[in-house]
A and B are shown apart, each in its own frame.
Chain A
Amino acid sequence: MSLSFAPPPPSPAAEALRAEVRDFLKREMPDLGPRDRLDPWSNWDESFSRKLAAQGWIGMTWPKQYGGHERSAFERYVVIEELLAAGAPVGAHWIADRQSGPSLIRFGTEAQRQAILPRIAAGECYFCIGMSEPDSGSDLAAARTRATAVQGGYLVNGTKVWTSGAHRANFMILFCKTDAKSDDRHAGASQFLVDMQTPGIEVRPIIDMKGGHHFNEVVFKDVLLPEEALLGKLGDGWRQVTGELAYERSGPERFLSSFALLVELVRAIGPDPSDRAAEAIGRLSAHILTLRRLSRSIAGMLEAGQDPAIEAAVVKDMGNVLEQEIPEIARLVIAAEPDLGSAEGYAAVLAQTVMSAPSFSLRGGTREILRGMIARGLGLR
């Protein structure tokens, strides 16, 4: 069985929007150096999120009754790819816009939607993802954090880890066990909508190897969640989480993390490239063009209500390979010792990319897990 990627249909409305986004970026883009444009969905800037919201560019595809704008998946695609390519700091609202909001729309109660979606769309409510644990990374089903039904709600105990933005997010979507006895590894888990202000939640910073504070350990100690915090059906957590994967893995952020370096590489090469430099830029550009086509094709499938989880894994894995190749190729075309403190744009962004690159094929599902999924999708058991 081979995978099928229908050609992305033309979308004139989306192309019209592209010009608007570019104008907006010319006016409103914060003044950032090249290294601050790398991996832009890791960069948190709440005032920028609110400006985007004012344009109607958060929650774009959601129903108007929840503060959304009922635009097509292609229009959203154009907005996010333009923001990412420009290196705009979209990290604050990224998770909420990409997956938490859509999860609430699919699985949330009316009260949950009313309470939260308009705030996300206004650019003032941010989310984090509570899936990984110290003993449960790739093997998500092995999660041990547990919510026990008690009088008035659920009592949560356990530890989440690598939680990006937990120290700034308003809410977490927590994945945890709700049924200790179930034999089926995938049954007995549920999702909760957790207000990060709930007593008993402790967020401890984990400093990454670049010295930045991006992810955290989140400890739950007898945290009492109200009954209304349950997201979706009790025991349906596994199905709900896997239903998000296509959204989470197919977007342009999965192949544009290193784009800022490619831009600086082109600048450093200048207008008269050697054959070798032209080949390097040509190859990377050809890869971006094909990935973008595949990624837009998935946007079309999502718009049509399909669940292209395997196709999304293809885009993410190939995209991560490309993102990781960019620094390896760049450093041999334009030699420079990578230097985070350099005033030279190229040496600084090279340094930043080299040190960020390992995470690209870990976060959001490791390369090995994705390849396993793809193989199963091909009919290998």
Chain B
Amino acid sequence: MSETSDLLRATAERLFADHLHKETHEAAEAGTWPAALWAAVEESGLAGAMTPEAAGGAGLEASDALVVLNVAGHARLPLPLAETMIAGHLLGRAGLKVAAGPLTIAPAAGGAFAARRQGAGWWIEGEAARVPWARHAAGLVLLADSPDGPVLALVNPDQVSLRPGTNLASEPRDTITIAATLDAGVVAPSPVDAAGLRRLGAAMRTAQIAGAVRFLLDLTIDYVNTRVQFGKPIGRFQAIQHMLAVMAEHSAAAEAALGLAADGLDAGRPVLVAAAKARAGEAAGQAAAIAHQAHGAIGFTREYDLHRASRRLWAWRDEFGNEAEWQRVVGRAAVAAGADDLWTFLTAA
């Protein structure tokens, strides 16, 4: 992280402030695709942040790209920015053409695809549940098993059938089914296996969680400094102060987790990504609970902005692996290192 990331942070903050309004949120929650917002994001080049330069992207390191998603999480951005970044990154690395428009990746939460060569092209079939934003994607990047090893396929929306669903934050999570022949030009050996894809997703959600937790902290600080009960702002009550202190700690931990995730991706240390999602997932639940408690009933309304972050946090902490799943990954690696090398394991650069 560097000057680049400061610049990216500022760019993303300005972009979302200019183009993301209350009406945009409400329309997105009602199921309308925020086309103007997407156009602005695409125009800015942020969607291709992790796409290799050779494939027309910005080719940023994960540490920089995750900063953008952190800002997106803070803004409660109702767009598949994370998914488009991952898709562009994988397509570019696989040497495939990166499609324009919003993209998504699958499988994200269970399901599988199988591919095999058929004539000059490929046959692919399978199903995946809860694919992020599938119904709005201009292209879907599927990771499939094949006799040659894992392959990546870029498929068109009209090649899949789709059953709509949503996560707790009303973000599309659709089940997709495919049985189709594909041109050889849209299939290539995959640069990641299923675990690698899950890790990328976990790192992205970690960044988004850290952003949404920070938003909740900002919102709640403002609220407790203005809401008056018993003749004074509730932020003067020690019980409330201590709740906010704990929330700030979880926010700091989530931001640190984002840093671990970035290091983990950039340095190829999968355990760091696992630790990051495990810690951020914990922060998500704790921060949401405190924010709601400090807000009282107003925070429980559709009108007030709090739920846009808390519902996302409750969804995101379970996407691409919950805390227990990633804790097991870290725990098994720690135990494999052994008691006498536990510290070496924790400090490995």
- Interface residues in chain A, defined as those with a beta carbon under 8 Å from any beta carbon in chain B: 1-3, 5, 7, 15, 18, 81-82, 85-86, 259, 262-264, 266-267, 269-271, 273, 275, 277-283, 285-294, 297, 311, 314, 317-318, 368, 370-372, 374-381
Contact = CB atoms under 8 A, between A and B. Distances in A.
B248 A374 contact: yes
A85 B275 contact: no
Given A5-B256, A281-B327, A380-B244, 13 more contacts: A263-B342, A266-B342, A273-B332, A277-B335, A283-B323, A285-B334, A286-B275, A286-B279, A292-B346, A294-B252, A314-B248, A378-B244, A381-B236
A279 B331 contact: yes
A83 to B, nearest CB: 11
A278 B323 CA distance: 12
Contacts of B1: 7
11 contacts: A3-B248, A267-B339, A279-B331, A281-B335, A282-B275, A290-B279, A314-B249, A375-B241, A375-B245, A378-B217, A381-B236
A24 to B, nearest CB: 15
A266 B335 contact: yes
Contacts of A81: 347
A273 B335 contact: yes
Given A294-B256, A368-B242, A1 B221 contact: yes
Q: What 7 A-B pairs come out closest when comparing CB atoms?
A: A282-B327, A282-B331, A278-B331, A375-B241, A267-B339, A282-B330, A371-B245
B252 A314 contact: yes
A5 B218 CA distance: 16
Contacts of A280: 327, 331
A314 B221 CA distance: 16
B261 to A, nearest CB: 11
Nearest to B283: A290
Given A3-B252, A275-B328, A380 B338 contact: no
B334 A266 contact: yes
A7 B210 CA distance: 15
A281 B245 contact: no
A276 B225 CA distance: 42
B249 A380 contact: no
B272 interface: yes
B324 interface: yes
A285 B274 CA distance: 11
B202 to A, nearest CB: 12
A270 B335 contact: yes
B73 interface: no
A289 B279 contact: yes
Nearest to B236: A381
B214 interface: yes
| Chain B interface, >50% SS class | helix
A368 B217 CA distance: 19
Contacts of B78: none
Contact of A375 (B242, B282, B331, B336): B242
B300 interface: no
Contacts of A376: 241
Contact of B328 (A278, A292, A368): A278
Nearest to B323: A283
Given A271-B338, A282-B329, A290 B248 contact: no
A2 B251 CA distance: 8
Interface string B229-271: 0000101101011101110110111011101100000000000
Most buried by A among B214, B224, B241: B241
Contacts of A297: 256
Interface of B: 1, 214, 217-218, 221, 224-225, 233, 235-236, 238, 240-242, 244-246, 248-249, 251-253, 255-257, 259-260, 272, 274-276, 278-279, 282, 323-324, 326-332, 334-336, 338-340, 342-343, 346-347, 349
A86 B343 contact: yes
Contacts of A18: 347
Given A2-B214, A282-B327, A290 B335 contact: no
A15 B260 CA distance: 18
B336 A380 contact: no
Most buried by A among B225, B235, B248: B248
Contacts of B257: 286, 290
A19 B338 CA distance: 19
Nearest to A370: B245
B83 to A, nearest CB: 25
B346 A282 contact: no
Contacts of A15: 349
Most buried by B among A86, A269, A290, A376: A290
Given A290-B256, A293-B256, A380 B248 contact: no
Contacts of A375: 235, 241-242, 244-245
A288 B347 CA distance: 10
A5 B260 CA distance: 13
B309 to A, nearest CB: 14
Nearest to A380: B235
A294 B238 CA distance: 25
A264 B256 contact: no
B275 A289 contact: yes
Nearest to A268: B339
B278 A286 contact: yes
A264 B342 CA distance: 10
B253 A285 contact: no
A283 B339 contact: no
A275 B1 CA distance: 35
Contacts of A381: 225, 233, 235-236
Contacts of A293: 256, 259-260
Nearest to A6: B1
Contact of B335 (A5, A278, A289, A314): A278
A286 to B, nearest CB: 4
Contacts of A283: 278, 282, 323, 327, 330-331
Most buried by A among B242, B255, B257, B331: B331
B72 to A, nearest CB: 17
Contacts of B240: 380
A282 B225 contact: no
A264 to B, nearest CB: 7
A297 B279 CA distance: 18
Given A266-B342, A380-B221, A286 B251 contact: no
B334 A281 contact: yes
B335 A269 contact: yes
A278 B244 contact: no
A51 B248 CA distance: 41
B217 A2 contact: yes
